[in-house]
Structure 1
Amino acid sequence: FSTVESPNPEYPAAFELAIKLGQKVNAEILIATDPDADRIGMAVKNPICHCEERSDEAIPSVIARNDNDEAISYTVLNGNQVGILLLHYILSSKKGLNQLPPNGFIVKTVVTSDMSRVIAD
Protein backbone atom coordinates (compact mmCIF):
# COMPACT_ATOMS: atom_id res chain seq x y z
CA PHE A 1 0.00 0.00 0.00
CA SER A 2 2.95 2.27 -0.59
CA THR A 3 1.23 3.71 -3.68
CA VAL A 4 -1.28 5.73 -1.64
CA GLU A 5 -0.93 8.37 1.06
CA SER A 6 -3.72 6.77 3.09
CA PRO A 7 -5.06 3.26 2.37
CA ASN A 8 -8.58 4.20 3.52
CA PRO A 9 -10.88 2.82 0.80
CA GLU A 10 -13.40 5.63 1.34
CA TYR A 11 -10.88 8.27 0.22
CA PRO A 12 -10.96 9.06 -3.51
CA ALA A 13 -7.14 9.21 -3.63
CA ALA A 14 -6.99 5.51 -2.71
CA PHE A 15 -8.63 4.74 -6.07
CA GLU A 16 -6.07 6.54 -8.25
CA LEU A 17 -4.43 3.42 -9.70
CA ALA A 18 -7.73 1.51 -9.83
CA ILE A 19 -9.27 4.33 -11.84
CA LYS A 20 -6.41 4.27 -14.34
CA LEU A 21 -6.93 0.53 -14.82
CA GLY A 22 -10.71 0.92 -14.83
CA GLN A 23 -10.40 3.48 -17.60
CA LYS A 24 -8.34 1.06 -19.71
CA VAL A 25 -10.73 -1.87 -19.27
CA ASN A 26 -13.94 0.20 -19.14
CA ALA A 27 -14.82 -1.03 -15.63
CA GLU A 28 -18.24 -0.11 -14.26
CA ILE A 29 -17.38 -0.76 -10.60
CA LEU A 30 -14.08 -0.49 -8.73
CA ILE A 31 -13.55 -2.11 -5.33
CA ALA A 32 -10.73 -1.35 -2.89
CA THR A 33 -9.88 -2.64 0.57
CA ASP A 34 -7.72 -1.38 3.40
CA PRO A 35 -4.52 -3.33 4.17
CA ASP A 36 -6.18 -5.88 6.47
CA ALA A 37 -9.33 -6.06 4.29
CA ASP A 38 -11.79 -5.24 7.07
CA ARG A 39 -13.13 -2.22 5.16
CA ILE A 40 -14.08 -1.97 1.53
CA GLY A 41 -14.76 0.97 -0.69
CA MET A 42 -16.47 1.21 -4.03
CA ALA A 43 -16.36 3.62 -6.91
CA VAL A 44 -18.90 3.57 -9.72
CA LYS A 45 -18.41 4.80 -13.25
CA ASN A 46 -20.40 7.87 -14.21
CA PRO A 47 -21.78 8.33 -17.72
CA ILE A 48 -19.23 9.73 -20.20
CA CYS A 49 -19.23 13.48 -19.98
CA HIS A 50 -17.37 16.37 -21.52
CA CYS A 51 -16.94 18.20 -18.25
CA GLU A 52 -14.26 19.63 -16.04
CA GLU A 53 -13.25 18.18 -12.70
CA ARG A 54 -15.40 19.46 -9.89
CA SER A 55 -14.86 19.64 -6.20
CA ASP A 56 -18.02 18.56 -4.42
CA GLU A 57 -17.49 17.25 -0.92
CA ALA A 58 -20.90 15.54 -0.90
CA ILE A 59 -20.15 13.47 -4.02
CA PRO A 60 -16.42 13.01 -4.53
CA SER A 61 -15.59 12.19 -8.14
CA VAL A 62 -12.26 11.39 -9.70
CA ILE A 63 -11.99 12.23 -13.38
CA ALA A 64 -9.53 10.86 -15.91
CA ARG A 65 -9.49 11.19 -19.68
CA ASN A 66 -9.53 8.26 -22.09
CA ASP A 67 -7.73 8.04 -25.44
CA ASN A 68 -10.58 9.96 -27.11
CA ASP A 69 -10.17 12.82 -24.59
CA GLU A 70 -13.53 11.97 -23.04
CA ALA A 71 -13.82 12.59 -19.33
CA ILE A 72 -14.23 9.28 -17.52
CA SER A 73 -15.30 9.91 -13.95
CA TYR A 74 -15.86 7.61 -11.04
CA THR A 75 -17.81 8.48 -7.91
CA VAL A 76 -16.39 7.04 -4.70
CA LEU A 77 -19.20 5.77 -2.48
CA ASN A 78 -19.13 5.84 1.29
CA GLY A 79 -20.13 2.91 3.49
CA ASN A 80 -23.69 4.12 3.95
CA GLN A 81 -24.19 4.47 0.19
CA VAL A 82 -22.86 0.96 -0.46
CA GLY A 83 -25.09 -0.46 2.29
CA ILE A 84 -28.17 1.29 0.91
CA LEU A 85 -27.49 -0.01 -2.61
CA LEU A 86 -27.06 -3.56 -1.30
CA LEU A 87 -30.22 -3.32 0.81
CA HIS A 88 -32.22 -2.01 -2.15
CA TYR A 89 -30.91 -4.82 -4.37
CA ILE A 90 -31.67 -7.55 -1.81
CA LEU A 91 -35.17 -6.29 -0.98
CA SER A 92 -36.06 -5.65 -4.64
CA SER A 93 -34.86 -9.13 -5.62
CA LYS A 94 -36.80 -10.81 -2.83
CA LYS A 95 -39.91 -8.77 -3.64
CA GLY A 96 -39.65 -9.74 -7.32
CA LEU A 97 -39.47 -13.41 -6.32
CA ASN A 98 -42.32 -12.97 -3.84
CA GLN A 99 -39.97 -13.97 -1.00
CA LEU A 100 -40.48 -11.05 1.39
CA PRO A 101 -41.86 -12.33 4.71
CA PRO A 102 -45.11 -10.67 5.87
CA ASN A 103 -43.56 -9.42 9.12
CA GLY A 104 -40.05 -8.87 7.82
CA PHE A 105 -37.68 -6.34 9.33
CA ILE A 106 -34.19 -4.97 8.91
CA VAL A 107 -31.65 -4.20 11.62
CA LYS A 108 -29.24 -1.29 11.50
CA THR A 109 -26.78 0.34 13.85
CA VAL A 110 -27.17 3.80 15.34
CA VAL A 111 -24.43 5.21 13.10
CA THR A 112 -25.94 3.77 9.91
CA SER A 113 -28.02 5.91 7.58
CA ASP A 114 -31.76 6.20 8.24
CA MET A 115 -32.33 5.75 4.49
CA SER A 116 -32.71 2.01 5.13
CA ARG A 117 -36.08 2.70 6.77
CA VAL A 118 -37.28 4.53 3.64
CA ILE A 119 -36.19 1.65 1.39
CA ALA A 120 -37.72 -0.99 3.65
CA ASP A 121 -41.06 0.82 3.71
Structure 2
Amino acid sequence: MDDEGVRARLRAALKTAMKERDRAATATLRSALAALDNAEAVDPAGAGLAEVEHERIAGTVGGLGAGEVPRATLDEEGARAVVRAEADERRAAADDYDRVGEAERAQALRAEAALLDELLG
Protein backbone atom coordinates (compact mmCIF):
# COMPACT_ATOMS: atom_id res chain seq x y z
CA MET A 1 0.00 0.00 0.00
CA ASP A 2 1.28 3.50 -0.75
CA ASP A 3 1.84 6.41 1.61
CA GLU A 4 -1.22 8.46 0.74
CA GLY A 5 -4.39 7.98 2.74
CA VAL A 6 -7.74 6.67 1.62
CA ARG A 7 -9.24 10.18 1.44
CA ALA A 8 -6.43 11.32 -0.89
CA ARG A 9 -6.92 8.24 -3.09
CA LEU A 10 -10.67 8.89 -3.24
CA ARG A 11 -10.07 12.52 -4.25
CA ALA A 12 -7.54 11.56 -6.92
CA ALA A 13 -9.89 8.91 -8.30
CA LEU A 14 -12.75 11.44 -8.27
CA LYS A 15 -10.68 13.89 -10.30
CA THR A 16 -9.92 11.17 -12.85
CA ALA A 17 -13.55 10.00 -12.99
CA MET A 18 -14.73 13.56 -13.56
CA LYS A 19 -12.22 14.09 -16.37
CA GLU A 20 -13.36 10.84 -17.97
CA ARG A 21 -17.02 11.83 -17.46
CA ASP A 22 -17.69 8.56 -15.66
CA ARG A 23 -20.93 9.42 -13.91
CA ALA A 24 -21.24 6.21 -11.90
CA ALA A 25 -17.70 6.42 -10.53
CA THR A 26 -18.07 10.13 -9.82
CA ALA A 27 -21.26 9.56 -7.84
CA THR A 28 -19.75 6.63 -5.93
CA LEU A 29 -16.60 8.53 -5.00
CA ARG A 30 -18.53 11.64 -3.97
CA SER A 31 -20.76 9.47 -1.81
CA ALA A 32 -17.76 7.86 -0.11
CA LEU A 33 -16.15 11.25 0.54
CA ALA A 34 -19.44 12.52 1.98
CA ALA A 35 -19.61 9.46 4.25
CA LEU A 36 -16.14 10.35 5.56
CA ASP A 37 -17.24 13.94 6.18
CA ASN A 38 -20.37 12.74 7.96
CA ALA A 39 -18.32 10.42 10.14
CA GLU A 40 -16.29 13.44 11.26
CA ALA A 41 -19.37 15.45 12.23
CA VAL A 42 -19.95 15.91 15.94
CA ASP A 43 -23.19 15.62 17.85
CA PRO A 44 -24.05 19.17 18.93
CA ALA A 45 -25.87 17.84 22.00
CA GLY A 46 -22.67 16.46 23.44
CA ALA A 47 -20.31 19.09 22.06
CA GLY A 48 -20.14 21.24 25.18
CA LEU A 49 -21.95 24.26 23.76
CA ALA A 50 -22.96 27.08 26.05
CA GLU A 51 -25.86 26.15 28.29
CA VAL A 52 -27.64 29.50 27.92
CA GLU A 53 -30.08 29.58 25.02
CA HIS A 54 -30.69 32.62 22.87
CA GLU A 55 -33.83 34.39 24.06
CA ARG A 56 -35.37 34.78 20.58
CA ILE A 57 -34.72 31.44 18.93
CA ALA A 58 -35.40 28.23 20.84
CA GLY A 59 -32.65 25.65 20.84
CA THR A 60 -29.88 28.07 19.84
CA VAL A 61 -27.08 29.85 21.61
CA GLY A 62 -26.30 33.52 21.20
CA GLY A 63 -23.12 35.12 19.96
CA LEU A 64 -21.01 34.88 16.86
CA GLY A 65 -19.56 31.39 16.61
CA ALA A 66 -21.20 30.22 19.84
CA GLY A 67 -22.64 27.20 18.07
CA GLU A 68 -19.40 26.19 16.37
CA VAL A 69 -17.52 23.11 17.48
CA PRO A 70 -14.42 21.49 16.01
CA ARG A 71 -15.00 18.47 13.79
CA ALA A 72 -13.90 15.05 14.91
CA THR A 73 -10.97 13.54 13.03
CA LEU A 74 -10.74 10.04 11.64
CA ASP A 75 -7.46 8.20 11.63
CA GLU A 76 -6.55 6.16 8.55
CA GLU A 77 -8.06 2.95 9.95
CA GLY A 78 -11.29 4.78 10.81
CA ALA A 79 -11.49 6.20 7.30
CA ARG A 80 -10.87 2.75 5.81
CA ALA A 81 -13.64 1.33 8.01
CA VAL A 82 -16.10 3.97 6.77
CA VAL A 83 -15.29 3.26 3.12
CA ARG A 84 -15.41 -0.50 3.76
CA ALA A 85 -18.88 -0.04 5.30
CA GLU A 86 -19.98 1.92 2.22
CA ALA A 87 -18.84 -0.95 -0.02
CA ASP A 88 -20.56 -3.52 2.22
CA GLU A 89 -23.77 -1.48 2.11
CA ARG A 90 -23.71 -1.53 -1.69
CA ARG A 91 -23.17 -5.31 -1.76
CA ALA A 92 -26.08 -5.84 0.64
CA ALA A 93 -28.31 -3.61 -1.48
CA ALA A 94 -27.21 -5.51 -4.60
CA ASP A 95 -28.31 -8.77 -2.96
CA ASP A 96 -31.69 -7.18 -2.22
CA TYR A 97 -32.04 -6.06 -5.84
CA ASP A 98 -31.16 -9.57 -7.02
CA ARG A 99 -33.94 -10.99 -4.84
CA VAL A 100 -36.51 -8.76 -6.53
CA GLY A 101 -35.23 -9.41 -10.05
CA GLU A 102 -33.37 -6.13 -10.63
CA ALA A 103 -30.16 -7.68 -11.91
CA GLU A 104 -29.02 -4.56 -13.78
CA ARG A 105 -29.19 -2.36 -10.69
CA ALA A 106 -27.55 -5.09 -8.60
CA GLN A 107 -24.68 -5.28 -11.08
CA ALA A 108 -24.21 -1.49 -10.93
CA LEU A 109 -24.05 -1.58 -7.13
CA ARG A 110 -21.51 -4.40 -7.18
CA ALA A 111 -19.38 -2.35 -9.59
CA GLU A 112 -19.53 0.58 -7.15
CA ALA A 113 -18.49 -1.70 -4.28
CA ALA A 114 -15.62 -3.07 -6.38
CA LEU A 115 -14.40 0.47 -7.10
CA LEU A 116 -14.33 1.27 -3.38
CA ASP A 117 -12.61 -2.04 -2.58
CA GLU A 118 -9.97 -1.30 -5.22
CA LEU A 119 -9.22 2.07 -3.64
CA LEU A 120 -8.86 0.46 -0.23
CA GLY A 121 -6.13 -1.74 -1.65
TM-score strictly above 0.5: no
Larger Rg: 2
* Higher RCO (CA-CA < 8 Å; seq separation 6+): 2
In terms of fraction of residues, the more helix-rich structure is 2
Normalised by the length of structure 2, the TM-score is 0.30
In terms of fraction of residues, the more strand-rich structure is 1
Normalised by the length of structure 1, the TM-score is 0.30
